[in-house]
Structure 1
Amino acid sequence: MVFYISLTSWGQNQQCKVSTFEGEVSYGQTYRHAINRNLELVLDPLPSGWLLRVLPIGKPRPQLDYAELATPPYQSVTPLAVSTDFSFRAQDAIAWNPRNFHFVAASDAFNRLMMAYNNYIGAQDSVSRRSAEGRLTSLVQQTQSGELRILDARIVAGTADQAGLAAMVASHLSETAHSVVATHGEPISPLGRITWFRFRISLWLPEKDTGNTVFCR
């Protein structure tokens, strides 16, 4: 079963609001929630867990989605992955809580960010790379903010020692409600598995869905 509760409250900027919704997702399941008339937040199932994405509604999936592009580092440990990737055990993944991320809420901002990213990865020398990196960093700093908070979880705990990268961010296991489920005779993997979790997501959004870029923190 998947459900959500939508709430809205005002932020400090009168052009902005905080949209908050709650839901739950089981292993292998997809969760979707419309952000505005053009975008939706998706918890995309992976063999290792889920990846939080922000995607255009009714359009082809871009090379990098609207959250992935706005939440560096790229191809590395990311708050968008509620998963056992990068040697995170299941208990480490839910102990990274809450998770802060960024996203773009308008196509014009996404196109500018995508162009800056392509210029950065395509730079041929150190000077142009530094310039492209500065432009990319500046645009990322202007993106919208989001928070994912895990409210409860069920896990098959991993047996491996905690990895160094996990230890840097996964510090709230004792404060995250969770239960360890039985494997019914199945072998327990070193990293374990998240079988279900319930969450609250907050997004700082423009108050009016005009299609123009308004930056909310």
Structure 2
Amino acid sequence: MKRLHHKQQSDEELMVQVMGHHASFSAKQAEAALVELHRRYSKKLLGYFIKMLNKDVDLAQDFVQEIFLKLMEKKHLFDPDKKFYSWIFAIASNMCKTAYRHHGKTVSLHPEINHPQGLAENLVEKRLFLIALQEGIDNLEHHHKTVFVLRYLEHFSLNEIAEITESSLGTVKSRLFYATKKITDHLKHFDPRFETTLFKLN
């Protein structure tokens, strides 16, 4: 049976090769699988780290290198029946949590949420809206910021966020509800309807 090219294989199939559980996988194949995973995820992880580490690009790049070292260190912990992207983002989330605890790193985001249609033609109001949104996010506690970033900027589902943050679905919903409520309260002077229209919890 012909072996699939790495680019045709799933993340999970590649990770199994990295783990080297099967004698049929050579060290060269494991290395090639790791290179492919790096190609698929390095840019996405870099974007996530930049958002979570106060836009510190150099530190974010260091974290990308470190997370792939951690991947090798923790490869025996990967469950091939689970999604690789949830597993790697769980590691990334924990790295940011550790950085926050040890160095007081705060999340500072360049908002990527589409501005409301009513502000589309008013550049001044659009800019003021983005500044206010930034302030609202900055004022959140770290664990609330984490679920907000994963949901609205990285577009993970609630179940995926629960897996990534090692929290219950109820906890994720509660944190997300609190985060969006606090931010929409901060933005009400633009339009009171934002409370129900700007962010979708589901």
Report the TM-score, using the length of structure 1 for normalisation. 0.22
Q: Greater helix percent: which structure? A: 2
Q: Greater strand percent: which structure? A: 1
Which of structures 1 and 2 has the bigger CA Rg? 2
